[in-house]
C-alpha cells in the first residue's frame, strides 16, 4: 500500500509540473510580416519601375553611342538619377516599414499594454501571446535599418515605432537584443556588441522576466557589456569592457563600473586599469569643474532672460 501511495504521489507531482505548449498565432505573424514587407516596398517599387521605363531604359540602355551618355542632357540626367532613386527608394522603404509596424504595434499595445512582470510560459495568456508577437514584429524593421547603409537611423526607427525611448545625441552600436522596452537618456554611447535585454528566459522553457531598462544621461558602455532586465543606470556612469549587471541593479551613477557582476571601481584600480597618472585625474577634475561652472552660468543667463 505504501508503494502504491508513493506511486500516486509521484504521478500527481509529475502532472503538476507539466508545462503546456505555447499558443501559436500564425495569422498575427503572417499578417504583420507581409503587410510590412509588401507595403514598405510598394511605393519605392512603383517609383523605381517608372524611372526605369520612362528614363533609364530609353535614354541609357537603348543608347547606341556611349559618348551620348555624357554629352546629351536626358541620358546624362537619367544616368545620374540612378543612385538618387535607389537611395531615395530605400529611405521610403524604411519609413513605410516603420509606419506599418508602428500601426500594428499600437494595436497590440492598445489591447494588452507592455508592463513589468514575470510572464509564466506554462499558463496561456494574452500577455504571453503579445510578447511573442511583438518580438517577431520588430525584427524586420530593426534588421532593415541595422543591416543597411544607414544604421544610425535605428534610433529614429525605435522612437518612431514606440518600442524604445532613445534620447538626443545617443549612439547605439550594433548589438544583440535592445529592440523593445528600453529607455536611454541623452548623449549616451552604447559600445559594440553590448546587450540591452529587457526580457530574460529563465531556463529552456522557464518563465520570462520582462522588466524595463532605464539609462540616464551621459552613460557610456565600452564594449561587450550586458544589461539585464529591470536595471536602472543613473547619469554619468561609465562601464568598462565586459561589465555586466544582474537583474534589478540600480547604479547611482557618477562613477566607473567593472566586472561580472559589475561593481564600482576605485580610483587606484581605475588608474592601474587605464594606465593613467595622477596628473590625468587632476586635469579631469578641473575639466569637470569648468563644465559645471559653464552649466551654472547658462542656467543663470536663461533665468535672467526669462525675467
Which pTM does this prediction carry? 0.78
Burial 40-73 (b: 16+ CB within 10 A, else e): bbeebeeebeebbeebbeebbeebeeeeeeeeee
Residue 14, pLDDT score: 43
E strand or H helix at 282: helix 278-306
Say what the pLDDT of residue 15 is. Answer: 47
* Res 11: pLDDT: 46
Nearest to 99 by CA among 43, 59, 49, 57: 43
Mapping DSSP onto H, E and C, the string for 6-75 reads HHHHHHHHHHHCCCCCCCCCHHHHHHHHHHHHHHHHHHHHHHHHHHHHHHHHHHHHCCCCCCHHHHCHHH
CATH says 163-278 is which class?
Answer: mainly beta
Q: What is the pLDDT of residue 291?
A: 84
User: How many residues comprise the chain?
Assistant: 307
**What is the reported pLDDT for 221?**
94
DSSP three-state, residue 2: helix
Intervals of the chain under pLDDT 70: 1-24, 303-307
Assess whether the previous peptide bond of 202 is cis (omega < 30° from 0).
Answer: no
d(CA 151, CA 173): 8
Asked if 162 contacts 102 with a C-beta cutoff of 8 angstroms, the reply is: yes
pLDDT digits (tens, 9 = 90+) for 87-129: 999 999 999 999 999 999 999 999 999 999 999 888 888 898 8
- Please state the domain extents for the chain: 163-278
| Contacting residues for 180 by C-beta, under 8 A, at least 6 apart | 114, 134, 135, 138, 163, 164, 198
Amino acid at each position: 500500500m505504501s508503494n502504491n501511495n508513493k506511486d500516486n504521489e509521484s504521478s500527481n507531482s509529475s502532472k503538476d509540473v507539466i508545462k503546456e505548449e505555447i499558443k501559436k498565432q500564425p495569422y498575427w505573424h503572417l499578417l504583420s510580416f507581409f503587410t510590412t514587407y509588401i507595403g514598405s516596398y510598394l511605393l519605392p517599387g512603383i517609383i523605381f519601375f517608372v524611372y526605369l521605363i520612362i528614363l533609364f531604359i530609353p535614354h541609357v540602355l537603348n543608347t547606341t553611342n556611349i559618348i551620348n551618355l555624357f554629352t546629351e542632357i536626358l541620358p546624362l540626367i537619367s544616368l545620374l538619377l540612378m543612385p538618387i532613386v535607389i537611395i531615395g527608394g530605400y529611405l521610403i522603404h524604411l519609413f513605410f516599414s516603420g509606419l506599418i509596424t508602428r500601426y500594428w504595434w499600437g494595436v497590440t499595445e492598445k489591447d494588452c499594454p507592455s508592463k513589468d512582470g514575470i510572464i509564466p510560459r506554462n499558463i496561456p495568456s494574452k500577455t504571453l501571446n503579445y510578447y511573442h508577437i511583438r518580438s517577431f514584429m520588430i525584427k524586420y524593421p530593426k534588421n532593415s535599418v541595422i543591416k543597411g547603409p544607414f544604421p544610425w537611423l535605428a534610433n529614429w526607427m525605435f522612437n518612431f515605432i514606440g518600442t524604445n525611448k532613445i534620447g538626443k545625441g545617443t549612439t547605439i552600436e550594433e548589438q544583440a537584443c535592445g529592440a523593445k522596452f528600453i529607455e536611454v537618456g541623452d548623449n549616451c554611447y552604447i559600445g559594440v556588441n553590448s546587450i540591452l535585454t529587457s526580457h530574460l528566459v529563465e531556463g529552456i522553457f522557464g518563465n520570462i522576466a520582462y522588466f524595463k531598462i532605464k539609462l540616464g544621461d551621459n552613460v557610456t558602455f565600452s564594449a561587450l557589456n550586458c544589461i539585464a532586465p529591470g536595471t536602472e543606470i543613473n547619469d554619468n556612469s561609465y562601464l568598462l569592457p565586459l561589465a555586466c549587471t544582474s537583474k534589478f541593479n540600480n547604479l547611482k551613477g557618477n562613477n566607473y563600473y567593472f566586472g561580472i557582476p559589475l561593481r564600482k571601481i576605485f580610483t587606484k584600480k581605475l588608474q592601474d586599469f587605464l594606465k593613467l597618472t595622477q596628473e590625468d585625474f587632476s586635469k579631469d577634475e578641473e575639466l569637470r569643474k569648468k563644465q559645471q561652472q559653464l552649466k551654472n552660468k547658462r542656467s543663470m543667463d536663461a533665468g535672467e532672460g526669462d525675467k
